[in-house]
Amino acid sequence: MKLADFVREDLVLADLQATAKGAVIDEIAALIESRVPRLGAAAVARILKAREELASTAVGDGVAIPHGKLEAAGELVSCVARSVHGVDFAAHDGRPTHLFVVLDAPENSTGVHLKALARVSRLFKDQGVRQRLLHAPDAHAMYAALCEEDGKV
C-alpha cells in the first residue's frame, strides 16, 4: 500500500491555524467535510476525539496519526496537515506536534486501516521526510514530497 492510494492533494493542509488539540481536530474535520461531504465534520471530529480520549495518537518526533472508523466513509479517507508553530498533542516525547496524518476508515476495514497506519508510521519515521514536509512552501509541495518519498520506500 502506498500513500498515493489514500492521500489526495486537496486534503493536504499546509498551515493549520488551530493551536489546541481539539481545535486541530475540528479544523481538519472541517476540511475533510468540505472535500468529502458525506462524512460530516461533526462525525469526523467525534470519532477522532473519542480515539484521543483512549490515548494520544501523537507518536513523537512531531507527528500524530489521529484515526478512527466511520460507517459513512465507504473508503479510506486521509488528510495530511501541518502546524508551523506546533501543537501540544500529548506526545510521549513531550515535544510539539507539527505533522498530522488523519485516517478515517470504513467500519469494516480493519485490514486497510492497519495497512495505512503501518505505511504512515514507516514513512514518517524518516527524519528526511519530516523535514521536507516541514519546509515545503505550500500544500502542493507537501503533496509532491509525500508522493516522491513514498515512491522510494
Contact indicator for 12, 6 with CB cutoff of 8 Å = no
135 part of the active site: no
Q: What gap in Å lies between CA 27 and CA 89, rounded to an integer? A: 14
From the list 67, 85, 113, 135, the catalytic residue is: 67
Residue 63 φ/ψ, nearest 5 degrees = -125, 140
Following DSSP, what letter does each residue of 40-68 receive, concatenated?
-HHHHHHHHHHHHHHS--EEETTEE--EE
Q: What gap in Å lies between CA 136 and CA 116, rounded to an integer? A: 23
Q: What gap in Å lies between CA 67 and CA 52, rounded to an integer? A: 9
Strands 58-60 and 63-64: antiparallel
Residues assigned a catalytic role:
67
